[in-house]
Amino acid sequence: MPAGCLEGLAFQVGPTSLTSRGDIRNSTAQRYSSYVLKYWLDLFTGKTWAEFRTAGSEVSGFRRGTEGVVARIARGDILLCYVTGIKRWVGALEVIGQTTDTRRIWTDDEFPVRLNVRPLITLEPEFGLPLDHLESKVDFFRTSADRGGYQGFFRRSPSAFKRDEDGALVLDLLRAAESQPVSREVDQRELARRPAYLLERKVKGKNVQVEVSIPTPDPPPTVGIPDQRPILELTQSETRHTEIQAELLQLGAEMGLDVWVARNDRGKTMSGQALGSMRRVLDALPTQFNEITTKTIELIDVLWLRGNSIQAAFEIESTTSIYSGLLRMSDLLALQPNIDIDLYLIAPDERRSKVEQEILRPTFQLREKPLSRMCGFISFSFFSEKLSSIRRLGLGRSLRPDFLKAHAEYFGQRPDSSSIAGRSA
């Protein structure tokens, strides 16, 4: 299945387990003497591997569109299970045949193209076989130069091993890992990584599926025992970023809007109050978007909302990479090309030229709607001055969400200002 799609399966062959490749070949040969055994890659995430085993370890599933490949997998073939992210081989499954099982086994995807399987080997991820152990021994990892891409071998599953001897080697090494277990530390963030998402797009008049993913943010350190909404201790470099977030949240609430703070920033505090507990901060976003769009939006620094409609989105870049905030904005526009949201990037005055350089990158500029025309730049100093004026004159309640359009700088052609209404401070 595609990376991170399936659950690992655990099975037994008869009353005793097979102890070597020869045993597996002999057992299979007795039942399917006219068939040459083939090895297939079966990709999992840590989550799908655990879910599959919890469901009974009797069915392996793949995404829609793999029906033709799955039809070539014969009874007696071996699925070799690999967990993406942590790069560990964790199991070997003998194929029994196709199944009509439609249970909801996995939470992140349906994986409806399914096979009944028996377990030959199943290992916990920490006891899995590291991919590095195969360097120079298999076709897809001939030298260190193959690291990263591995000649495209892990792009999707199921896929057949190019050389039968490579599959046989992995099986032998898995058996050794089972009989002589060695525990190796596993990166828990990689183990918890979610699978990629499939989106449908029209290309040259045809609907095609495109696999996309949304990177998860690095978790900040917590002080004390974390709870559902932990309080985070800020470094000096993070303080200004958090101040701007708090000011945007407060301003949005004063304008009568609901507000949202990035999911990973909800525990940060300003003046002793967690951002996630400020006035009118939502606990959940509206549900009109698909899952991957929602997960993209959840990580944007601040949102202003009216009912179910997002009015404005803000990324604040004080010390972090300008590029990361622009990428989130670009991802949002790619996922929802017809969305009508005002986008702003707020950054220190001295980073203006860096913002301009980054937003004019080809990856942003060569879009159908260039990001430079959609996302406006606002400097820290200008935002602070404008906010002071609004507070001094008591204008918060009379402002409309789009008032910042008139003050933002657009490095591409500026949006049509005829749609701007409301008064500015």
**Strand arrangement of the beta sheet that strand 342-347 belongs to:** 258-261, 302-306, 309-316, 342-347, 375-379
- Where exactly does CATH 3.40.91 map onto the chain? 236-419
Q: Would you state the pLDDT for residue 155?
A: 79
- Where exactly does CATH 3.10.590.10 map onto the chain? 21-191
- For the chain, give the percent of residues with pLDDT over 90: 48
Q: Would you state the pLDDT for residue 238?
A: 63
Is 226's pLDDT higher than 70? no
Nearest CA to 42 out of 174, 147, 135 is that of 174
Among the ranges given (57-61, 158-162, 331-335), the one the predictor scored with the smallest mean pLDDT: 331-335
212 vs 75, residue with greater confidence: 75
Nearest 5°: phi and psi at 360?
-95, 10
Give the burial class of 86: count Cβ atoms within 10 A of its Cβ; 0-12 exposed, 13-18 middle, 19 or more buried: buried
Nearest CA to 150 out of 12, 41, 299, 294 is that of 41
Ranges 5-14, 206-215, 298-307, most confident: 298-307
Q: Which helix (H) or strand (E) is 297 found in, with range?
A: helix 291-297
Residue found by looking up tokens 């730049």 in the block: 377
Q: 56 by DSSP, 3-state: which?
A: coil
Class (C level, CATH) for 21-191: alpha beta
Is 12's pLDDT higher than 60? no
pTM for the complete prediction? 0.52
Nearest CA to 308 out of 286, 283, 340, 291 is that of 286
CB-based contacts of 348: which residues, under 8 Å, 6+ apart?
Answer: 240, 318, 379, 380
Ranges 16-20, 34-38, 353-357, most confident: 353-357
CB-based contacts of 245: which residues, under 8 Å, 6+ apart?
Answer: 261, 262, 265, 268, 270, 275, 301, 302, 316
List, in sequence order, every residue forming a beta bridge with 379; answer none if it has no partner: 347
CB-based contacts of 142: which residues, under 8 Å, 6+ apart?
Answer: 136
Q: Tell me: the pLDDT tens digits for 353-406?
A: 889 988 998 888 888 888 999 999 999 999 999 999 998 998 888 899 889 998
Strands 302-306 vs 129-130: parallel, antiparallel or unpaired: unpaired
Is the domain defined by 236-419 classed in CATH 3.40.50?
no
* Chain Cα centroid distance, residue 224: 28
Q: Determine contact, residues 261/316, Cβ cutoff 8 Å.
A: no
Q: Tell me: the pLDDT tens digits for 86-111?
A: 999 999 999 999 999 999 999 878 89
